[in-house]
Chain A
């Protein structure tokens, strides 16, 4: 029948059109989803980059410093102790007053001095200790600017908000502008950031202490988790019989992988700190807690690598007279090693980024000295980021973002190493 045939085909054409439209929309949703994830990633990275790149540069101010004998060594003893104990802040203040001679009132002088970092006096002390012949001379010295001055010179303090809401008042702005016009203000690469530990002064704060702490903690984690995980995985995979005990072990290991990291911190606090009285804040305790967390990751990676070794290798070894332990140790394990190393590196990179359990065991204190050993109080890089993020000073914002960039660089390097190793040593059986 012609009529119904035509209407059927029209119906079919119409519904086909609709279905193709739905198909196109669905496909578009998929693309939108992936693009959205990509956009989030880009926003995150660019936000960190834009806020953090300025932390790699530090403002310095050039001042004529008169190394006055009367301030440093009034009795002319030439003793290094007297020189070390002199009040170099007075030299800084005099230098500023010499540069801006019309600043007389005490409160204004105080505001003027706030433009230079408190660390400048240490710089001057080091100069004089190195070369006592400087005493009595006037030198042009580049001194570290204070955190607020540094922020202003980088353009981070908007000038159009009322003076009372700013950390830099109008007179200080005028002084800084004058210094800039004279060419007495410059930006230098912030080597300090990578060589010193934490500080209350933002311009002097660095991440070296946190990096050393992280390294020590990761060493302990690696030493503890790698042997134990590999042996446990070898046992479960190769040398155990299927009974209730091994089933129980497997369930336990899978559960360990899913426990939130903060629970490990609570466990570490309750057992290692309160029962065993290990030193608080030490890399040793952090390493143990992180090793417990990394345990399931390495076990799962090791089991996957062991499973990937073909049974023919095992059977050939048995056929030549090897015992089960010899088969595993001499044949299977060496072949599975690349996969095990990859899993270990990934586990270590996850441990590097962890901070919640370490907060619980006390690695959250303000630690200035670089830790020297496994039992010294230390901090790790993620916890340092957390501490700085809490700080209200604007100058710490850029430091925090820069520290996140450094952390992400470390993680990228570790993960890239794992991927390269995996590609290089991957055996196709």
Chain B
């Protein structure tokens, strides 16, 4: 809260700097704006940037580094007076100290040492905040003084301001790269720690997924096997069923809308498909768990088949419904991009419309359609909520769509939404699975992109 106040104050001061700089520039030429190099506003921005940017940079650094630094200092102070049993669990002590410092009661022992550490923590926080406020104020004042000195009629304010603006834009665009790199690195680190606990080949090629690691040495039911093949086959089964539903329906509706439909039908069908695309995946998952799963189970009971209520068919079918608009809209764009001259030529030679589509349009649009299907597969593999709510948890190695299978995303959720210690193999396995998922979807997307780039027909 206090940081918020500080940030708002900074913004206000920067605004004041803007007006100040502008008026200073104008007064230096006695109000004759044409004697200034740039428009007066640019002098305002110049001063505002000098006041605000260094201070804001300091603010960001402080906010990011302060919790870590305070934690280190408190731990160092406490380790001198720690009883032996606490040694090594600094996270736990930190938690206790932080909740004591926040005024909550602590379960167990609020020893004088802990209380002292909590007071120290609070004192550190106060000093750091005061220090930050003082540093920021002095930076603002220094920036103000320096900027005012620099403002002369000949100052090329616009160029300076635009240079800073350009760097801001580059920084924004770089956030995208940082995010991707951050994702890869964070997943990689945890995965490496996982592979220190479980061998690499056991993970990728193991046939048994049973991630119950033991907390005590004599605990029952703790096999701790992390063979991921059942997860991969489960994911592939559900994805296959989903694509079997989505591709025919999506492609046929795209062909119909592109080549056959009257504008009236297009005006109904396109919004309807957009509605299907906009429904959240939770709703699909709830629908699958509530309606489709029991329905399939009842149909199975009536026809004598053994259908689980969490069958891969239910999850895959609903996922297919979700992917229909994705494939349909992508294919629609691609099919519409095939030049009309090709269609006209084919019709002129006496082909029916369906023969034109099958022999001329589709082959021309094939790379794009394949790319759309690959993107659909990538979407299906990465889909979480539908399978979490409609598919099962037990890893089975089966190709029967009527049984319940589990997928990679379900296991990621299950492993992390429980209460396991963060270092255990169980939670680290989730990151390993995440890395595999990321890699597979990345490869699929790159292949889809290359397919389109390499095989696309260039018409005139």
- Please report A residues at the B interface, Cβ cutoff 8 Å: 19-20, 22-23, 26-27, 29-34, 36-38, 40-41, 43-44, 47-48, 51, 227-229, 231-232, 234-236, 239-240, 248-249, 252-256, 258-264, 266-267, 269-271, 274, 276-277, 292, 295-296, 299, 323, 325, 349, 352-356, 359-360, 364, 373, 382-383, 385-386, 389, 397, 400-401, 404, 407-408, 411, 415
B383 contacts A267, C-beta separation under 8 Å: no
Q: Is B370 an interface residue (CB 8 A)?
A: no
A235, A252, A292, A352: which contacts B172 (Cβ < 8 A)? A235
B422 contacts A274, C-beta separation under 8 Å: yes
From B49-57, B125-133, B269-277, give the one contacting chain A.
B269-277
B249, B272, B388: which contacts A33 (Cβ < 8 A)? B249
B442 contacts A255, C-beta separation under 8 Å: yes
Task: Return the chain A residue nearest B448 by Cβ.
Answer: A258
Interface SS, B side: helix
A27 to chain B: which residues have CB within 8 Å?
256, 260, 353-354
B168 to chain A: which residues have CB within 8 Å?
231
The number of chain B residues with a CB under 8 A from chain A is 92
A360 to chain B: which residues have CB within 8 Å?
412-413, 416
Interface residues of B in 265-301 (CB under 8 A from A): 265, 269, 272-276, 278-287, 289-291
A252 to chain B: which residues have CB within 8 Å?
176-177, 180
Task: Give complex CA distance A44, B249 in Å.
Answer: 17
B330 to chain A: which residues have CB within 8 Å?
none
A26 → chain B closest CB, angstroms: 4
A34 contacts B282, C-beta separation under 8 Å: no
B252 to chain A: which residues have CB within 8 Å?
29-30, 32-33
Q: Is B458 an interface residue (CB 8 A)?
A: no
Task: Return the chain A residue nearest B275 by Cβ.
Answer: A41
| Pairs A-B, 7 closest by C-beta atoms | A260-B382, A30-B256, A353-B280, A33-B252, A26-B354, A235-B169, A356-B384
Given A26-B354, A27-B256, A37-B249, do A256 and B286 touch, yes or no (CB 8 Å)?
A: no
Question: What 0/1 pattern do residues 373 to 408 of B give for CB contact below 8 A with A?
Answer: 001001101111100110000000000000000000
Given A292-B179, A295-B176, do A26 and B413 touch, yes or no (CB 8 Å)?
A: no
B182 to chain A: which residues have CB within 8 Å?
267, 271
* 14 A-B contacts (beta carbon < 8 Å): A37-B328, A40-B321, A234-B169, A255-B445, A256-B180, A258-B375, A262-B412, A277-B67, A353-B280, A353-B283, A359-B416, A386-B282, A386-B285, A404-B286
A23 contacts B438, C-beta separation under 8 Å: no
B276 contacts A353, C-beta separation under 8 Å: no
B434 contacts A262, C-beta separation under 8 Å: yes
B165, B352, B437: which contacts A23 (Cβ < 8 A)? B352
A299 to chain B: which residues have CB within 8 Å?
176
B437 contacts A232, C-beta separation under 8 Å: no
Given A22-B352, A30-B260, A31-B256, do A41 and B272 touch, yes or no (CB 8 Å)?
A: yes
B276, B389, B412: which contacts A41 (Cβ < 8 A)? B276
Residue of B284, B285, B379 ringed by the most chain A CB atoms within 10 A: B285
B162, B186, B269, B445: which contacts A323 (Cβ < 8 A)? B162
Q: Is B355 an interface residue (CB 8 A)?
A: yes
B396 → chain A closest CB, angstroms: 22
A234, A263, A373, A389: which contacts B438 (Cβ < 8 A)? A263
